[in-house]
Chain A
Amino acid sequence: MSRFNLNPEQIARELSEFNQQLLDSYHTLQQIDEINVGQTPHEIIYSEDKLQLLHYQAIKTPGRKRCTTPVLICYALVNRPYMVDLDQERSFVRRLLELGIDVYLIDWGYPDAADRYLDLDDYINGYLNNCVDQVISHSGKPETNLLGICQGGSFSLCYTALYPEKIRNLVTTVTPVDFQTPDNMLSHLAQQIDVDLAVDTYGNIPGAMLNDAYNALMPMRLGLQKNLNIPRQLKDQASAMNFLRMEKWIYDSPDQAGEAFREFITTFFKGNGFINGDAIIGERSVDLKQITQPLLNVFGSSDHLVPPSASRALNGLTASQDYQEYEVPSGHIGVFVSGQSQQKVAPMIADWLKLHDKSAAKTPKK
């Protein structure tokens, strides 16, 4: 029995609407001068090589309780950190500031040929450790809260295990912990890739190559379906700017420092270092049982890049007596940019940080 009920008038109408939208989309594009992102005011308090450490001052609201310990956001090396500050309406950072949290954000920059041999030791024991010291020094607090995003969450876990005395509370968001859960498509595909050959061939791994890998997780939805919806997305300037900001972020992919990439894939994707307990950064073993801090683990229920199972594996791996999970009904990026995020995720994290802020008044360690 046929289920097609395509009447000619409907098809002609659809053709007309679609092509009119296509035409309108070019009209909209003509009116756009620049695609601005990361507009929340901030100052750069520290620079090292290509890295910059940004500080965002909490907004003082009379009557609203502030968190005395700031939060340092450790973003992934993949893509750019302005995802947490796309625009005023979709700014995870701005929501935290409004809720009385002082925010520091690491911008890793764009590695070039000179950074080809940067390894995880440089990133974690070097850059991240220096940023933590800078935050502590700049804020005048004895410790900092650390919030890691995706790969930055894996870095934050390593860091907190190696330097527990500097971290007050740890928040991991959309963070892969068990890299080999059966539903992890990216990991399944990565297992067959000769990472040594990749680094030997390219030096730094091209960002575009990683984008291809991410798009390959849902090729038809992220390809044809998305593209055919673009004329509708560009129908007016406001909607177009929303769409283009996100597009700009998706394809603003820095190359990956070759050695760090090799080490991350080998240690975590192939070696499942957190689960097997054999991850080594520099010359130090990463023992997650060194983490005794309160720990909040945030993940997206329909995350296709880091499936919930990969994040939830953190439960029981640390020595934290105060472990909490928060499931957001969204995908990987939706955790930070969806309306739900602005309304619920940022407030939930801010409340949790304030609740766990009680011992922040102690004097700095020498």
Chain B
Amino acid sequence: MTDSFSNDPQQWFQEQTERWQKLLQGQPAAESTSWVQFFNSDHQDLFKHLGDNLGEHQEALMQMVNSQSSRFTEFAESLLKQSQSDNPPSQDNTDKLISDFRDYLQQQCNELLTQQWNLPEPFASLIKKLPLGQQQQLTEGPLRKYLEQLAATPDLGSMPFSNSQIRSVSQSILDYQDALKDYLQQYDLIFDQASEQLKQVLQQPGIEIDSVKTLHNLWVDCYEKAYAKQVFTPQYQSCHGRISNSLMRARKLAFEARDRKLQEFGFVTRAELDASLRLQHKMRKQLKSQTQQVNELQKQVLLLTEQLTNNSSAKPSPQKNNKKATS
């Protein structure tokens, strides 16, 4: 362990421990630096070389762990405060606790979905980057109306982009936004069902939540059951298909727009590169097939040569016969 590593993070941990002790004793405790804040602050150089040891994915994974760990700590702290003021908790507070827990997880879920289903640039710039749940601009409001107008624009005069291109882009973004809205509704349903399931499980004898980890594990079981049930419905599958396909259509349009620009500047476009790769592949196939035929023919020639050699060496030599005859 390096000295720098042992000092600062341990100091951070010491401060956290003191803060939890204060909360435990019901004393006011000042807000402190979360782990993710600590990690991303000027202490980051302590961890700089980790990137050299770990691959790109592991680095991204640890970023995710940092973020989720801070959220876990934050939620556990809120429970600590709540349990101080409500011990044992009432039924109302139990419902509130489940509701808070659900919100805490759904927020993280939405953030992950945002990353997974983010629109490609340049379209993403049209929509202010907000967690998905808050992204209402394109389901209603002036921007949507404007896009709808663009999508319905008739061909008039000459413009840097053709009307059909503008229509395609506008329609693509609208389709994506509608698909996203329906997709998120599916997740709302899953979270609703998971919460209900958790409440039902808590009614069963022998089930008791005595740690935050137990609560997490129980939630995961309930969530996965609710999720699996929903995924097998035609509604979910349709929503999943629509969000996947609409996002791909938007990406394809973005690539096509890039291609048009490349073409304007005299560069090779992706379509041209694809055509060349297709031809290259066809020729590679032909070459392999011909090489195989040549190899087969070579084998046959070798076999025939061997047979000829064997035949000729098996025949008695005419000279010897002659000699025998003369003697």
Contact = CB atoms under 8 A, between A and B. Distances in A.
B110 interface: no
B145 interface: no
Given A197-B248, A221-B220, A221-B224, A11 B237 contact: no
Contacts of A51: none
B80 A220 contact: no
Interface of B is mostly: helix
Interface string A141-184: 00000000000000000000000000000000000000000000
B237 A192 contact: yes
B213 A15 contact: no
A161 to B, nearest CB: 21
Contacts of B47: 26
Contact of A3 (B2, B90, B209, B277): B209
Interface of A is mostly: helix
A15 B73 contact: yes
Contacts of A16: 16-17, 20
Interface stretch (B159-167, B227-235, B257-265, B317-325): B227-235
B308 interface: no
Interface in A341-357: none
A201 to B, nearest CB: 4
B189 to A, nearest CB: 14
Nearest to A6: B83
Interface string B209-238: 111110111011001100110011000011
B237 A29 contact: no
A41 to B, nearest CB: 24
A185 B69 contact: no
B237 A191 contact: yes
Contacts of B69: 18-19, 22, 228, 231
A29 B49 CA distance: 10
Given A6-B211, A10-B211, A22-B35, A201 B9 contact: no
B202 A3 contact: yes
Given A10-B210, A192-B238, A198-B248, A225 B58 contact: no
Contacts of A228: 65, 68-69, 72, 216
B256 to A, nearest CB: 10
B79 interface: yes
A185 B232 contact: yes
Given A18-B69, A27-B1, A220-B224, A248 B80 contact: no
B50 A30 contact: yes
Contact of B285 (A122, A198, A223): A122
A137 B9 CA distance: 60
A114 B17 CA distance: 56
Nearest to B217: A225
Interface stretch (B125-133, B150-158, B239-247): B239-247
B53 A203 contact: no
A259 to B, nearest CB: 8
Contact of A6 (B212, B228, B232): B212
Interface of A: 1-12, 14-16, 18-20, 22-23, 25-27, 29-30, 32-35, 113-114, 116-118, 122, 126, 185, 188-189, 191-194, 197-198, 200-203, 212, 218-221, 223-225, 227-228, 230-231, 244, 247-248, 251
B200 to A, nearest CB: 11
Contacts of B288: 126
B27 interface: no
Given A5-B209, A12-B20, A220 B223 contact: yes
Contacts of B112: 219, 223
B91 interface: yes
A15 B252 contact: no
B20 A15 contact: yes
B79 A248 contact: no
A333 to B, nearest CB: 17
Interface in B41-60: 47, 49-50, 53-55, 57-58
Given A3-B202, A4-B94, A220-B227, A29 B50 contact: yes
B88 to A, nearest CB: 7
A8 B50 contact: no
B249 interface: yes
A174 to B, nearest CB: 20
Given A30-B50, A193-B245, A224-B220, A14 B213 contact: yes
Contacts of B105: 220, 224
Given A3-B208, A9-B24, A19-B35, A29 B54 contact: yes
B50 A26 contact: yes
A8 B237 contact: no
A301 B53 CA distance: 37
Contact of A247 (B16, B23, B61, B242): B61
Nearest to B54: A29
B37 interface: no
5 contacts: A116-B281, A117-B282, A194-B244, A225-B217, A251-B57
Of listed A8, A27, A116, A212, residue having the most chain B CB within 10 A? A8
Contacts of A244: 54, 58
Contacts of B220: 220-221, 224-225
B277 A201 contact: no
A5 B208 CA distance: 7
A104 B220 CA distance: 41
B108 interface: yes
A192 B244 CA distance: 9
Contacts of B202: 2-4
A30 B17 CA distance: 24
Nearest to A189: B240
B216 A225 contact: yes
Contacts of B9: 23, 26
A247 B2 CA distance: 26
B231 A15 contact: no
A327 B158 CA distance: 67
B62 interface: yes
B55 A35 contact: yes
Contact of B241 (A1, A14, A192, A225): A192
B31 interface: no
Nearest to B62: A29
Contacts of A23: 9-10, 13
B20 A18 contact: no
